[in-house]
Amino acid sequence: MPELPEVETTVRLIRPALVGRTIQGEEVRWARTLGGMRRAAFRKAVVGARISAVRRRAKHILLDLERDGVDAGALAVHLRMTGRLYVDPSREPLDPYVRVALALDRGRTLSFLDVRKFGRFVYTPDPEGFLAHLGPEPLGTEFTAQVLWESLRARRRMIKPLLLDQTFLAGLGNIYVDESLHRVRVHPQRRAETLTRAQVTALHAAIQEVLLAAIERQGSSFDKFYRTPEGQPGSYQHEFRVYGKAGQPCPVCGAPIRRFVVGQRGTHACLRCQRPPRAR
């Protein structure tokens, strides 16, 4: 599933082609992509609206809409496992896996392609309320080492499932949690409240460093599905230390990387660098 760096990459690449464009028509090929909204209501909400901004919140792409200079809600796009959002000339035939297409002025089309149909292309009149359940942004100014310290001290959970909880911290997924925890030598099953202040400070820095490096490389393409809006793979997968490296030597100590399950998620770690917690 695309995580924060992949979604941020998509936002940055489609923003120049979308801001200021007016939606002139829609084609919905898979109604469930609309999240339960009827097509007629969707058409009424979006056709004629102008895209005023393109931004990211957690793993969602938000297309803010306006009519006559007044806010008119937003489209909230979640790529899920196989979604891809891109802009093409209107004369290009739609890919058979496109689930929603919006005709724009100046002869362009915004297409949402989703092979496995898990993604969502949802209209909401209140985007902030729609995503109010999400935690802070890991690259936002409100996410400080002190905030992370206080939040972890208040929890009684294993550190990896907690970091994956979007209500705790928004945007992180399996890849970047594993990579961040390896950098600070913290085992994924370590209890969050047992981390020292020094470890929390290092973890805060590692999360931001990993995310920024992945954004710079346009995300990670570890399978055939994630591609940028331009159809290119990301390259951060070449920088992985542990994710997907089971059996390969740890780049720090040389011990074999192990794969195991934590909170029903495949997990990668070096058990020499990241000492397992003692059983209680």
Does 2 participate in catalysis according to the annotation? yes
Nearest by Cα to 113 from 95, 131, 128, 135: 95
Is residue 245 part of the annotated active site? The answer reads no
End-to-end CA distance of the chain: 33
Amino acid residing at 55: R
- The catalytically annotated residue of 3, 6, 26, 179 is 3
Reference 35, options 91, 93, 76; nearest CA is: 76
Whole-number Cα distances in Å, 209 to 12, 56, 67, 144, 204: 19, 19, 39, 13, 9
Backbone angles phi, psi at 88, to 5 degrees: -130, 160
Catalytic residue among 29, 80, 191, 265: 265
Catalytic member of 50, 56, 57, 59 = 59
Residues 143, 163: Cα–Cα separation, whole Å: 13
Q: Annotated catalytic, 230?
A: no
Contact 52, 64 (CB under 8 A): yes
**59 is known as an active-site residue:** yes
Number of C-beta neighbours around residue 27 at 10 A: 15
Closest listed residue to residue 54, CA positions, set 69, 67, 65, 43: 65
Q: Which two tokens stand for residue 255?
A: 């011990």
- The residues, ordered by sequence, that sit 6+ positions from 153 with a Cβ below 8 Å of its Cβ are 193
- Enzyme catalytic residues: 2-3, 59, 265
